[in-house]
Structure 1
Amino acid sequence: MNKQPNFLIFITDQHRADHLGCYGNTQVKTPHIDALAHSGTRFERAYVANPVCMPNRGSIMTSRMPSVHGARSNGVPLPLESVTFADLLAEFGYHTGFIGKSHLQNMEDKPPLLPPAVQLPGTEKSRAYSEARRENDDPSAYEQELRSRWQDPQHQITLPYYGFQDVVLCNHHADECFGDWLRWLQVEHPDLAGRLGREHGDRDPRYVAPQAWKTQLDEFTYPTHFIATQTSQWIERHVAEHPEQPFAVICSFPDPHHPWTPPGRYWDMYKPEDIRVPETMGADGEVAPHVRWLMEERKGGQAKLDGPRLFAATVREVQEMIALTYGMITNIDDRIGMVMETLRDCGADSNTVVIFTSDHGDLMGDHGIVLKGPLHYQGLVRVPMIWREPGTARVDAVARDDLTSSIDLGAAIIHRAGIAAPNGVQGKPLFTPNGEPVHTGRDAVLIEENQQRAYLGFERPVKVRTIVTRTHRMSVFAEGDWGELYDLQSDPLEKHNLWDTPQAQVLKCDLMQQLVQLLMEHSDNSPNPKRIA
């Protein structure tokens, strides 16, 4: 068997595939990420298992769908009994580390949004069992990433954490992050530590976009630089102290997620007036019901502009948001270049698989909407995924168009390390243990979403299931008889919904059957029945 490779895994947050140079964007500057793609493999049809942070991060870690691993939406932690690819790598001798934004557990002390189960008349409520599944005996085990817990100077992550032997935490977004980064800032730059967040940020009078402020931090005190520095130092220490031991480290950036606060020179790096907005921004013609609902909400002054929920935006707002997002992305790219330089300088590059991906995209003006939610347009559900094999001297980039999912990433990592997938893993390998490509063989990918809010005109919390094939995308909502069906070949911008058109009814029926089969295929088969002796 070949020597086990190292793994360096870069993850960004809320980052569309087409917001990278190597994916065809001619405005954003990403030379270091592009270099990985030019000497590796770029996946053109990589899709999320869920377009929301916690569920999809759980799927990356476990290679299982959110409905199976249990973190079905934000606010629902990944069960601690989950087996992650880090657990498996550690068992086979790897040193594992996680640096940056984790978000496998809740970050804020907020109660669940979903109402409790209805208690029928004539019934008595159990005092011992409020849920259908027993919860962990120690509730604090699921409070390790909470902002309130990190206010205690003695609080630390209990290791190993989902298989990671080392954790350096930087949770949340922009200059409102907390964790090890904030503790470092409080020691090294106490004056700045007291001037963080939107209440201390400066509003640029040229900008009208909500959630956009000039942070008091420079690029070297901003979380992106801290995460890259900690990753570089972690790699240097490991190579110096354990040169024969393989390693796997995740470098997870909270950006380019909103709020939009690129530090220092990155604030003015891109001019809003130069930004091209999506072609569907303000497009004439058919407007989907859920898009119309958001537009009417904004016109009526009811839109929530300062939170994470999607909203309708103006052309100028979208230009500003994209310009500031590009600044955040270029900042990330510069820091990836820094980590890659460390990898080369310490001699580990020749045996390290380098991976780049994101947990999900952002609508960022598609159909006039920004942020994320149950509108499964390509900008939200299609993510960048780059895999660079060690020692590659390829001149031309390799682009793969086989359908891949976030659940494939962890499965691909353990397969590349020569480790068999345990029962219940649903992802497909992407490369052999020798680094040769393996086609996924997928005819379609499944995307799940369970929201905790009722909006978009629905009376109950929104649930949607999406199937993406090589040629079409269909989304089915739990409430109502309305849905979406787009021909991705003739209508790549998803402007013409075929759901109710007579000529598409046979196709819709076929896709419905394929969706049902996907749902059955992705039901759980772990654990196996226990044998009774």
Structure 2
Amino acid sequence: MTRPNFLVFMTDQQRADHLGCYGNAHVRTPHIDGLAARGTVFDRCYVASPACMPNRSAIMTGRMPIAAGARMNGVPLPLDSRTFVDVLRDAGWRTALIGKSHLQNMTDNAPAWRNGLDRAPDQARRNGRDDPAYEQESIARWRDPGHAVRTPYYGFDHVELCLEHGDEVGGDYQRWLEREHPGADALRGSAHALPGGSAAPQAWRTALPERLYPSAFIGERTCAWLEQHAADRAAPFFLQCSFPDPHHPFTPPGGYWDMYRPEDVALPPSCGPARADDVPLKRALHEELAQGRRPAGGSRMIAVTPQEARAAIALNYGSISCIDDVIGTVLARLDALDLAGDTVVLFLSDHGDFMGDHGLLFKGPLHYQSLVRMPFIWADPQAPRAQRRPDLASAIDIAPTILARAGLAAPHGVQGHDLAPGAPDAPASRCAALVEEEGHRPMPGSGLPKVRTVVTQDWRLSVHAFETWGELYDLRADPHETVNLWDDPGSAATKSALLWELARSMARHADDCPLPTRMA
């Protein structure tokens, strides 16, 4: 298999330990666990950023978000980026994306400016990303029946796009639903929900049947693409099957809605109200909850009650099991088409979710393990044996690992490393993983999110640029990150060493692309 196929399953906002193969004894994920049983499970893979757009951009480019030019949600990946899919396509691979992309903005929300104005301030650099080419995933654009993604799209020659989440997904899915199942659109959204709600925030029992749900559509279209490819195998393929779930709103369809009972769900050990010694941001979020000021919608992190956390986890499990069943269908089709023996299969998510950790839900600038640790499974038919990798890996390692397996060189400027055992630049000796987070809206009781985190085998240190407080956790002694040692005199030497490592890591990941000007 000198030119292997690649099939990538990707989920949205799923924590690593919400899979059986990552130690969860409650959620049922037999097909994903089957991949793990014949492949490599990376136990310590970390995001480059704990938000959708920047981490997806990091995965696509093998570059940290700041270097890639997509530092936060709301800042699209530059179209002049050279993704690993571009490299595969140029080398002869057929490339396809079915499902969620989120390399460009889906919503049309106006930016919030740090200066407090409701208008754009004078900019230190020209935008360059305000033309229609950067609006291809925009919900507003998709209201035009003639709108379509221009291909190649970041290297993908075939794109069937899904926008947003839950049963409110738009894009090509919505057009398919209207075309193939007239009237089914009236079954979607909270306004058409079935009786029997949930205590979880942003949750409703969708009236969409399982066969019409976005996850089923993605599986059906993935199988159709594989069948088309099987008719002409002159070239290898790279196919990304990308699910908008289990990201909120929580709307698992049919029997997946009540597949798990909240009362049977185990809460994370750190779930509960904030303590006096917690960081100010966490305390402010819990004060919002206690005072009834918590925002009802959106993706910003919120505090939740234990009852709400149990309900959210139960529905999250239902969405994950739904996805697992779809993955099982796709893998069965891959095998039936006699493609499995030539196809490397990957499973990953773009980032995690607090899911009750520290009494929080969704995502935000507190880099607990539930948020920054991502699932990553690599199943290669040429190495069909189960193994677990405890060494540190990063989202930026995925691109160069795929390219190396394809026998292709990574472009100059790629900052990740080939994860294959014995690779010349394998990061087995990597001492730390770097995580970046940028935000453009201040958090309650805190300032503008701008965080840099370094994770080692034993520690996690986070520096908040506009705060006087920081975070330092001993992951061996305190795996649930409940005791912040930032101001602990006994941890001063460790803190100093980690700050040094953070500075060095940030310097190592500064952009060195393009090449310097040639000197005469």
TM-score with structure 1 setting the length = 0.94
CA contact (8 A) 2:279 2:469 kept: no
C-alpha distance in 1, partners of 2:45/2:154?
A: 24
Superposed displacement of residue 110, structure 1: 1.1
Query: Which residue, 229, 239, 257 being the options, matches 2:247?
Result: 257
How big is the shift at 1:195?
3.2
Distance 1:138 1:451 in 2: 20
Q: Distance in 1 between matches of 2:180 and 2:410?
A: 44
Shift of 1:457: 1.5
Q: 2:355–2:361: 8 Å Cα contact kept in structure 1?
A: yes
Q: Quick one: distance in 2 between partners of 1:40 and 1:274? A: 31
Task: Give, as a single letter, the amino acid of the residue that structure 2 aligns with 1:273.
Answer: E
Q: Which residue, 291, 301, 304 being the options, matches 2:292?
A: 301
SS at match of 2:183: helix
Looking at structure 2, the residues matched to 287 and 307 of structure 1 have their Cα atoms a distance apart, in angstroms, of 25
1:453 and 2:445 are equivalent in the alignment: no
Instruction: Report the Cα offset of residue 130 of structure 1.
Output: 5.2
Q: Deviation digits for residues 30-88 of structure 1, max 9, x if unmatched?
A: 00000000000000000000000000000000000111111111111111011101000
Contact 1:416 1:435 in 2 (8 A): no
Distance in 2 between the 1:437 and 1:526 partners?
A: 19
Instruction: State the SS of the aligned residue for 2:6.
Output: strand
| Equivalence for 1:177 | 169
Selected match of 1:144 from 136, 146, 151? 136
2:506 pairs, out of 519, 523, 527, with 519
Q: Is the 8 A contact 2:274 2:282 kept in 1?
A: no
Identity %: 51
Paired position in structure 1 for 2:238: 248
Aligned equivalents of 2:332 and 2:344: distance in 1?
Answer: 15
The correspondence for 2:179, drawn from 187, 200, 210, is 187
**Rounded Cα–Cα distance in structure 2 between residues aligned with 1:231 and 1:401:** 32
Q: For residues 479-498 of structure 1, what are the structure 2 equivalents within 5 Å?
A: 479-498=466-485
1:225-304 equivalences under 5 Å are: 225-241=216-232, 243-282=233-272, 286-304=277-295
Q: Aligned equivalents of 1:244 and 1:519: distance in 2?
A: 43
Q: Give the match's secondary structure for 1:73.
A: coil
Deviation at 1:135, TM superposition (A): 3.9
Question: Which of 158, 179, 189 pairs up with 1:197?
Answer: 189
What do residues 354-377 of structure 1 show as CA deviations (whole Å, max 9, x unaligned)? Answer: 000000000000010110000100
In structure 2, what residue type is equivalent to 1:351? D
Instruction: Please say if residues 429 and 440 of structure 1, whose CA atoms lie closer than 8 Å, have aligned partners that are also in contact.
Output: no
Task: Quote the residue 1:122 is aligned against.
Answer: none
Aligned position for 2:60: 61
Structure-2 separation of matches of 1:311 and 1:193 = 30
CA distance in 2: counterparts of 1:330 and 1:446, whole angstroms: 31
1:102 aligns with 2:93: no
AA aligned to 2:90 is E
- After TM superposition, the structure 1 stretch with the greater mean CA deviation from structure 2, 81-90 or 277-286, is 277-286
Contact 2:274 2:358 in 1 (8 A): no
Unaligned runs of 5+ in 1: 119-124
Gaps of 5+ in 2: none
Pick the aligned partner of 1:466 from 447, 453, 465: 453
Q: How many residues align?
A: 518
Contact kept, 8 Å, 1:49 with 1:446, in 2: the verdict is yes
CA distance in 1, matches of 2:20, 2:152: 37
Q: What does residue 71 of structure 1 align with?
A: 70
Give the counterpart letter for 2:188 in structure 1: L
What is aligned with 2:394?
Answer: 405
Cα distance, 1:390–1:17 mapped onto 2, change above 3 Å: same
Aligned ranges 1:393-432 → 2 under 5 Å? 393-394=384-385, 397-431=386-420
Contact between 2:273 and 2:286, CA under 8 Å: does it hold in 1? no
Contact preservation (8 Å) 2:399, 2:416: yes
Aligned-partner Cα distance in 1 for 2:341–2:517 = 44
The separation in 1 between residues aligned to 2:334 and 2:390, in whole angstroms, is: 29
| Residue identity matched to 1:379 | S
Q: Is the 8 A contact 2:278 2:484 kept in 1?
A: no
Q: Which string of whole-angstrom CA distances, capped at 9 and with x for unpartnered residues, describes residues 135-194 of structure 1?
A: 448700000000111111111100100011110001110111101100000012221113
Asked if 2 retains the 8 angstrom alpha-carbon contact of 1:349 and 1:391, the reply is no
The residue number in structure 2 matching 1:22 is 21
> What letter matches 2:181 in structure 1?
H
Letter in 2 for 1:469: T
Distance 1:284 1:130 in 2: 40
Q: Provide the secondary structure at the position in 2 that maps to 1:98.
A: strand
What residue is the counterpart of 2:314 in the other structure? Answer: 323
CA apart distance, 1:441: 2.7
State whether structure 2 residue 303 is matched by structure 1 residue 312. yes
* TM-fit CA distance, 1:481: 1.8
1:386 and 2:377 correspond: yes
SS of the aligned residue for 1:199 comes to helix
* CA apart distance, 1:114: 2.5
Q: TM-score, normalised by structure 2?
A: 0.96
Q: Deviations over 1:170-227 (max 9, x none)?
A: 111011110110000001222111332122223525x222211011111110000100
Provide the rounded CA distance (Å) in 2 between the counterparts of 1:133 and 1:37.
Answer: 46
Matching residue's letter, 2:162 = C
| 1:85–1:300 distance in 2 versus 1, CA, 3 Å | same
Partners of 2:425 and 2:225 in 1: CA distance: 29
CA distance in structure 2 between the aligned counterparts of 1:73 and 1:106, rounded to whole angstroms: 11
Distance in structure 1 (CA, Å) of the matches to 2:236 and 2:202 = 41
For 2:137 and 2:86, how far apart are their aligned partners in 1? 19
> 1:192 corresponds to which letter in structure 2?
A
Distance 2:156 2:294 in 1: 40
Q: Deviations over 1:339-386 (max 9, x none)?
A: 101111111110111000000000000010110000100000001100
How far apart, in 1, do the equivalents of 2:43 and 2:477 lie? 18
How many angstroms apart in 2 are the aligned matches of 1:348 and 1:438? 29
Q: CA deviation at 1:437?
A: 11
> Helix, strand or coil: the match of 1:493?
coil
- Kindly provide the CA deviation profile for residues 83-122 of structure 1, in whole angstroms up to 9, marking residues without a partner as x: 101000011110000110000000011111234699xxxx
SS in 2 for 1:51: coil
